[in-house]
Amino acid sequence: TSTERTLILIKPDGVRRGLVGEILRRVEAKGYTLTSVELRTADDDLLAAHYAEHEGKPFYAPLVEFMGSGPVLAAIAEGNRVIEGFRALAGATDPTAALPGTVRGDLGRDWGLKVQQNLVHGSDSVESAEREIGLWFPGR
């Protein structure tokens, strides 16, 4: 079977702007199942582990600061090829480049250099999904 799990985060900009319902609606409409959902403000240790692959990059510090600036909605979604499928729903990393029809393309604002304010995170591989789920939802 190709049923997979992925970690979805609705970032602080999405929560602040009241887009939780709209984004989760799209995930469910696609046919994915939400198996865990939690709203929380992440601490620096969690964010450092989550974004370890980006440590040392110029956008790392502002990214971690932004991600800890308010509550995020963390969710586990399950479904057929959900890792690739959620990233397709999310759209390109830069909201300016993200296509219409995607979360970032339809709802993302152009914040100039603040590419980190792109509403959502989705795991990019089976390995990163399991690693990230272990960080955000220990034991699940």
Any contact of residue 121 with ligand DAT (CB under 6 A)?
A: yes
Rounded CA gap, 103 and 91, in Å?
Answer: 6
Any contact of residue 103 with ligand DAT (CB under 6 A)?
A: no
Q: Is 40 annotated as a binding residue?
A: no
Cβ contact 86:122 at 8 Å: yes
Of 7, 95, 121, 123, which residue is the catalytic one? 121
CA nearest neighbour of 69 among 136, 138, 6, 14:
14
Rounded CA gap, 128 and 38, in Å?
Answer: 19
Any contact of residue 49 with ligand DAT (CB under 6 A)?
A: no
Among 118, 129, 132, 136, binds ligand DAT (CB under 6 A): 118
Any contact of residue 88 with ligand DAT (CB under 6 A)?
A: no
The torsion defined by the Cα of 28, 34, 40 and 45, in degrees rounded to 10, comes to -120
Any contact of residue 59 with ligand DAT (CB under 6 A)?
A: yes
Q: 121 catalytic, yes or no? A: yes
**In terms of CB distance, is 102 or 118 closer to ligand DAT?**
118
Cβ contact 43:135 at 8 Å: no
**In terms of CB distance, is 1 or 113 closer to ligand DAT?**
113
Element (H, E) at 76: strand 72-80
Q: Catalytic site residues?
A: 121
Binding residues for ligand DAT, rule: CB under 6 A, are 54, 59, 63, 93, 115-116, 118, 121, 124
